[in-house]
Amino acid sequence: GAGVSQSPSNKVTEKGKDVELRCDPISGHTALYWYRQSLGQGLEFLIYFQGNSAPDKSGLPSDRFSAERTGGSVSTLTIQRTQQEDSAVYLCASRWDYGSPLHFGNGTRLTVT
Amino acid sequence: DAKTTQPNSMESNEEEPVHLPCNHSTISGTDYIHWYRQLPSQGPEYVIHGLTSNVNNRMASLAIAEDRKSSTLILHRATLRDAAVYYCILRDWAGKSTFGDGTTLTVKP
As a whole number, mean pLDDT of residues A87-95 equals: 96
Pairing of strands A103-104, A65-69: unpaired
Looking at residue B40, the DSSP 8-state letter turns out to be: T
- Residues on chain A touching B36 (C-beta within 8 angstroms): 101-102
pLDDT of A103 reads 94
pLDDT at A58: 93
> A100: pLDDT confidence band, cut at 50, 70 and 90?
confident
pLDDT score, position A45: 92
Do residues B3 and A45 make contact, with C-beta atoms less than 8 angstroms apart? Answer: no
Q: Are A37 and A19 in contact (CB under 8 A)?
A: no
Question: Which residues on chain B are in Cβ contact (under 8 Å) with A105?
Answer: 43
> Is B9:B86 a contact under the CB 8 Å cutoff?
no
The number of beta carbons lying within 10 Å of the beta carbon of residue A15 is: 12
Beta strand pairing status for B18-23 and B84-91? unpaired
A3-25: per-residue pLDDT in tens? 999 999 999 999 999 999 999 99
What's the pLDDT at B33? 93
**Best CA proximity match to B62, nearest among B88, B96, B83, B39:** B88
DSSP per-residue codes, A31-97: EEEEEEE-TT---EEEEEEETTSPPB-TT--STTEEEEEGGGS-EEEEE-S--GGG-EEEEEEEESS
Facing residue for A33 by CB, picked from B32, B36, B97: B97
Verify whether the Cβ–Cβ distance B91 to A4 is below 8 Å: no
The answer to whether residue A72 scores a pLDDT higher than 90 is no
Confidence band of B68 (pLDDT split at 50, 70, 90): very high
Residues on chain A touching B97 (C-beta within 8 angstroms): 33, 45, 102
- In angstroms, rounded to a whole number, what is the distance separating the alpha carbons of residues B109 and B53? 33
Per-residue model confidence as pLDDT tens digits over B8-34: 999 999 999 999 999 999 898 888 999
Burial-class residue B84 by CB neighbours within 10 Å (0-12, 13-18, 19+).
buried
Mean pLDDT of A54-66: 95
Partner-chain contact B97 A42, CB within 8 Å: no
Which residue in chain A has the smallest CA separation from B30? A99
pLDDT band at A110 (very low <50, low <70, confident <90, very high): very high
Q: Which one has a higher pLDDT value, B55 or B3?
A: B55
Q: What is the DSSP letter of B69?
A: S
CA B80 to chain centre: 18
* DSSP letter, residue B54: -
User: Could you read off the pLDDT of B70-103 as tens digits, one per residue?
Assistant: 999 999 999 999 999 999 999 877 777 878 889 9
